[in-house]
Every structure is written in C-alpha cells, then in structure tokens.
Structure 1
Amino acid sequence: MKLSADMRAFEQRLGYQFQRPELLVRALTHGSVSSATRTDNQRLEFLGDRVLGLVMADALLDHDKSATEGQLAPRFNALVRKETCAEVAREVDVGAVLKLGRSEMMSGGRRKIALLGDAMEAVIAAVYRDGGMEPARRMILRLWGARIASVEADARDSKTVLQEWLQARGQTPPTYEAVSRTGPDHAPVFVIAARLADGTEARASATSKRQAEQAAAAALLNLLGA
C-alpha cells in the first residue's frame, strides 16, 4: 500500500515510518466509515491504551524514584486519560488525516476529544505492531515528554484537596453548579461554579464538566489561600 502525501507528512510528525502502511490507515479509520473491506481502529485502540499505560508507568518510575504508589497513581491517570491523548493528537494534527464518515465530519468529528484520543491510542498500537515496543516507546516519550516532567501539577486532584481542606476545618463540602454550556456539540464549553456554604464561590470553564469542576475547585483553593 502506498500512502498519500498527507499520510507521509503525518508519519514525519510522528517521527516514525511504517513498514506496513495499512496499519496506519487502520489506526486512523473511525467506525463511521468502516466496512467489510475497511476495518476500523477499535481493536488497535484497545491495544494502544495498554502500550501507552506500560510506557507511562515505566517512565514515571524513572522520573521520580522516591514517589509512592499513592503519588504515582494520579500522575499516571493524568498522563493516559482521554483528554491528554486528544491534546497530543491535536499537536501532531491527527484530525487532518482521520478517516470519518460524512455524519461525523459534519458534526465536527475531527475535533472531538473522544475520537482524537481513540485515534492517538490506535496510532500507538500501529507503531507497536509495525516496529515493536522500542519504536513505540520512543515515540510516546517524545510526544508526552514535557507532560511527564510537569505531571505533578497536572495530577493534583483539586476537588479532593478542597474537600479535605474544608473537612479539616469542620466545614461542609462544596457544591458544584453547572452555570452554562455554550458552543457546538463537538466543542462545548462548560462553566462550573464551586460554592461553599457561606456563599463563597469561584468559577471556571473547560471543554468537559470534569475539567471545569477541577478548575473551579483549584480557583476556590487559591481564593481561600489553601
């Protein structure tokens, strides 16, 4: 199989050239355009998630040799979660080469977090199946490198920290209110208010409710000086 110019350019962004180009094509094929002769990327996504997890777990052990399991677990989750995979996918412009059906294209599928994250995991699996663990590891560490170095900040569970801070002072847990949701379905923006019993609140926005709640909790912690 001969890859298109766009696919070759994508290989350059990945830093890996496929010996079996059909693996890359499969990794970038969404279920909305699959057929009896064109397999989608779901099986590769399943494998890529495991390859990414192994590489990240190993990298975290090397990065901080004194970290406990309790410290490593949230860092690991921050590095392998779908949102992070989608961020990496955007950096290498997976969306430009993602193969989608018409309905997904019309609904902005090339920018959806779930689709981009799944495709990135599938690409990791494609590299693993094509070249083995070492090329996959090198690619992952190159694309995730800066995130591994700064993961302590990204892994802080602000909602848990806020709740524990309040409980230690005999105060009730905060409430979280969805203030608004704007933007199209493929790129929503949620505004969440984190509010204390005395009415003190902080607001934050993000592309998912979970991220917005975490950001609002972090803002409230800063407001409280915690």
Structure 2
Amino acid sequence: MTRIPGVILAGGKATRMGGGDKGLLPLGDATLLDSVIGRLGPQCSELAINANGDPARFARFGLPVLADPMADFPGPLAGVLAGLDWAAQTGAEAIVTAAADTPFLPGDLVARLTAEAAEKGVPIALAASADEAGVQRRHPTFGLWPTGLREDLRAALSGGLRKIVLWTDRHGAATVPFPAASFDPFFNVNTPEDMARAERLLARGMA
C-alpha cells in the first residue's frame, strides 16, 4: 500500500471557540489548517478537506472540499466516509485522516499507521498517546481507513452509529502509540486558552 491520500476533518462547529471554522483561525503567520496541511501533506499522495457548507471559504488552499454524505452532521465518521468515497473514485485502497485543529501532528503519522496495520493484519489503525497519568488514549480522528469498508461504514451510520471506536473495534483496529516528549503531538485547539498555548509552542519551534 504505497499511495495514501489524506483527509483533514474540518466539519466541527467549534462552539467553544465561538463557532465557525476552527481550522481558519490564525496561528502564527498562517492558520491552524495551514499547519495541518504543512505536516500531513508531505506524508500523503494528495489531500482533501472534509467540511460542510460553502466550499469557497477553503478555496485558497486549492484542495478538494468533501461534504458529509449524510445530513444533520452525524460526526467525524461521516467525514471519514466522505474521504473514503472520494479516494475510492481514484482507486486508492485507504486514506489517513487528521483533525483540522491539531497543528503539531506527528510527521510520521502515515508511515506508522500503515506499518502497524500491515504488521497486525488489520484494516484500521488508530493513533494514541499517553495522557498526564501515563495512560494510552486513542485519537480516533487520526486513523488509517480502508476504502473497502466504506459500505459497511455507510450502513453503520445509517443505522444510527456515531461513536468512532464502536465501529473500529468491530474490525479489530490496531492502536499505534506515539511518544509525547515535551507535549502531546495530538494536542488540539478547543478553547482560546488552547490557542494561546499553540502560539507558545509555535514560538518555541515545535511546528
């Protein structure tokens, strides 16, 4: 499996940040989404953005914008499905997803997810990192997803399933731990305080 498209999940409503598109908020001289694209793009054969509403607001990034294939904002799994449908049309066997509000994601995300899935012989792999107590916590919006399971996922969503790990656990998903040195690479911006921390990390050269 050598050709892996990436899909940035940007469909959240950012209610704790005052609403709107969290990925378009400024970080340093650019935006959160610029940071995610800069880190995920070199790891993938191509990128797309999953977001709903007018796609023109993302035009400057020059990437396909994929709307959820289901109404009423059913959550990140709908974004995964949008990405799988898009990738399947191009003949890709899998995608890797990342959240639009996580500007310091690992530079080896795709390589490690694909390697672990291959080693374990499973179709899905999810990233994880240790919390402050040292307990590994999965980050299910950061995953490797095979296009061959998209109809299974569509059926699950149509049946009302919304929680990512309930579906991934059905398929024996591998968990891939990523080390956290001075901070968790999956740190995501949910509040103004988080944005201030991201600015400090950026200033320290963590991007």
Under TM normalisation by the shorter chain, which class is it? Answer: under 0.3
Larger radius of gyration: 1
Higher relative contact order (CA 8 A, sep 6+): 2
TM-score by length of 2: 0.24
Which protein is richer in helix relative to its size? 1
